[in-house]
């Protein structure tokens, strides 16, 4: 099998960075297909911690090609900073490729994001993601190739900056931008990236044709999908498996396997419904034990028990073939654990994730209780050696989703992982 998609099954922060890193060792190429620098993937290698936002986690392996595909919105300043910090730590970025079709995140997108957050709170990461995708869909965005090759770029850019300035100055009493300054900045930022820019869709096609192993790395999670998530409290892209085909520019028939990453409990950052949220002391315990603070913004994450309704939904929407369960060790000390099997709304049992915000807010979770294992699992490397109650917890997740686990993560390090079978 050659093409594997890895997606988040919850609201992001499922520990995809570590799983991607683990699979990258076995992959010939890793492809980021959506999102932008709103993503924060933490990877720990030999006592070193890497926090990646735009560059695929595979960059830590010298043999793995790392592609930022056309579905990603790219903040050139952030990308250069990330590359610089990787190089300072001795990581070679020669294997990086950036799609010439990728849309650019401009400084004015970040400012619009900030203004919008002041007036209607989604709890975004403030990285300009929504406004950049809005411009892309509205066909007033700028792609990498436009900047490099379009002779009319400067004129178009000037007109667009002037339009944006009207919005800032007339509607929000904020200073606008000098398009010449922005233009010069863009050129200074794109120059060092030139050697890495190309047609990543074609590259993926060639890799798959040659039987190479390609991993498509999703950012955020299923419930943050613009169409299938908890709209409007979502991100502006398609983190779901279908998004990999669109964002990377490959046909769905090329995909062999879809692995869903599920944290052993649930977290969410930003606003929006979260039926299984624990707001009292138990939520704090999960936050502290799981170090649940955002990689990109440092915000404390909202925490709750595992939500089976969401996982079943994610299994369906993504067509999951496998599960990777992360942070199981965070539950080590609990005497009992709960899993939400369904919700209740006005006396009615709800087994499918509700399709709109009002219904999502009205639902209260109903749980089953399982005994904890109260044993340190962080050094365990074989499934059979897990405490019997930990295995029962995993098997319950498999039963709820109808999907088998292929990887269990018991700590941030690469060696704190249980795997069964091959991935490609």
Mind telling me the catalytic residues?
Answer: 13, 41
Q: Using the rule CB under 6 A, is 95 a contact of ligand IMP?
A: no
Residue 379, phi then psi, degrees to nearest 5: -105, 5
Q: By CB neighbour count within 10 A (0-12 exposed, 13-18 middle, 19+ buried), where does 160 fall?
A: middle
Residues 32-61 that bind ligand IMP (CB under 6 A): 38-40
Of 259 and 390, nearer to ligand IMP (C-beta) is 259
Q: What is the DSSP string of 54-101?
A: SS-GGGGSTT-EEEE-TTSEE-HHHHHHHHHHHHHTT---TTEEEETT
Q: Does residue 270 belong to the site contacting ligand IMP (CB under 6 A)? A: yes
User: Is 266 one of the binding residues for ligand IMP (CB under 6 A)?
Assistant: no
12 lies in the site for ligand IMP, by CB under 6 A: yes
- Whether the CB-CB separation of 14 and 414 falls below 8 Å is answered with no
Q: Which of 103, 235, 321, 360 binds ligand IMP (CB under 6 A)?
A: 235
β 41-45/48-52 pair status:
antiparallel
Per CB under 6 A, 72 contacts ligand IMP: no
Q: How far is the CB of 228 from ligand IMP (least distance, A)?
A: 14
Nearer residue to ligand IMP within complex by CB, 95 or 326: 326
Using the rule CB under 6 A, give the single segment among 11-19, 57-65, 84-92, 413-421 that binds ligand IMP: 11-19
**Are the C-beta atoms of 66 and 29 separated by less than 8 Å?**
yes
Site string for ligand IMP, 181-220 (x = CB under 6 A): --------------------------------------xx
User: Residues binding ligand IMP: what is the number (CB under 6 A)?
Assistant: 21
Contact predicate 41/17, CB 8 Å: yes
Residues forming beta bridges with residue 340, ordered by sequence position: 307, 367
Find the helix or strand (DSSP H, E) in which 205 lies.
helix 200-209
Positions in 291-350 near ligand IMP (CB under 6 A): none
Nearer to ligand IMP, 125 or 318 (CB): 125
For residues 244 and 199, give the distance between their C-alpha atoms in angstroms, rounded to a whole number.
16
Among 248, 269, 276, 331, binds ligand IMP (CB under 6 A): 269
d(CA 270, CA 291): 17
Binding-site string for ligand IMP from residue 112 to residue 141, where x marks contact by CB under 6 A and - marks none: ----------xxxx-x-xx-----------
Among 11, 1, 71, smallest CA distance to 254 is for 1
Chain residues binding ligand IMP by CB under 6 A are: 11-13, 38-40, 122-125, 127, 129-130, 219-220, 224, 233, 235-236, 269-270
């Amino acid at each position: 099998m050659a093409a594997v998609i890895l997606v988040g099954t919850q609201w992001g922060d499922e520990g995809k960075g570590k799983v991607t890193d683990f699979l990258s060792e076995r992959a010939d190429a890793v492809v980021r297909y959506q999102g932008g620098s709103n993503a924060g993937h933490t990877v720990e290698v030999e006592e070193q911690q890497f926090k990646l936002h735009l560059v695929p986690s595979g960059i830590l392996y010298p043999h793995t090609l790392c592609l930022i595909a056309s579905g990603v919105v790219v903040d050139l300043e952030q990308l250069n900073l990330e590359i610089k910090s990787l190089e300072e730590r001795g990581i070679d970025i020669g294997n990086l490729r950036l799609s010439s079709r990728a849309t650019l995140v401009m400084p004015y997108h970040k400012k619009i994001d900030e203004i919008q957050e002041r007036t209607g709170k989604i709890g975004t990461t403030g990285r300009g993601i929504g406004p950049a995708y809005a411009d892309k869909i509205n066909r007033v965005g700028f792609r990498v190739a436009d900047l490099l090759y379009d002779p009319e770029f400067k004129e178009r850019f000037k007109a667009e900056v002037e339009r944006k300035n009207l919005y800032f100055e007339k509607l929000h009493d904020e200073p606008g931008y000098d398009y010449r300054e922005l233009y010069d900045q863009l050129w200074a930022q794109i120059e060092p990236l030139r050697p890495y820019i190309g047609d990543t869709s074609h590259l993926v096609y060639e890799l798959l044709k040659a039987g190479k192993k390609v991993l498509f790395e999703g950012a955020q999670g299923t419930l943050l999908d613009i169409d299938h998530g908890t709209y409007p409290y979502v991100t502006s892209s398609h983190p779901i498996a279908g998004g990999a085909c669109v964002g990377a520019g490959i046909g769905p028939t090329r995909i062999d396997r879809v692995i869903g990453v599920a944290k052993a409990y649930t977290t969410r950052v930003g606003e929006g419904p979260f039926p299984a949220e624990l707001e009292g002391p138990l939520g704090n315990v999960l936050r502290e034990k799981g170090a649940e603070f955002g990689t990109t913004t440092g915000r404390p994450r909202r925490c709750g028990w595992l939500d089976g309704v969401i996982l079943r939904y994610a299994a369906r929407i993504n067509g999951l073939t496998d599960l990777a369960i992360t942070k199981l060790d965070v539950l080590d000390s609990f005497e009992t654990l709960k899993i939400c099997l369904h919700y209740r709304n006005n006396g009615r049992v709800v087994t499918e994730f509700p399709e709109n915000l009002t219904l999502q807010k009205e639902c209260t979770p109903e749980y089953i209780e399982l005994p904890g294992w109260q044993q340190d699992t962080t050094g365990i490397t074989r499934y059979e050696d897990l405490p019997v109650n930990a295995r029962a917890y995993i098997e319950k997740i498999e039963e709820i989703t109808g999907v088998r686990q292929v990887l269990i993560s018991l700590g941030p390090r690469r060696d704190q992982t249980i795997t069964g079978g091959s991935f490609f």
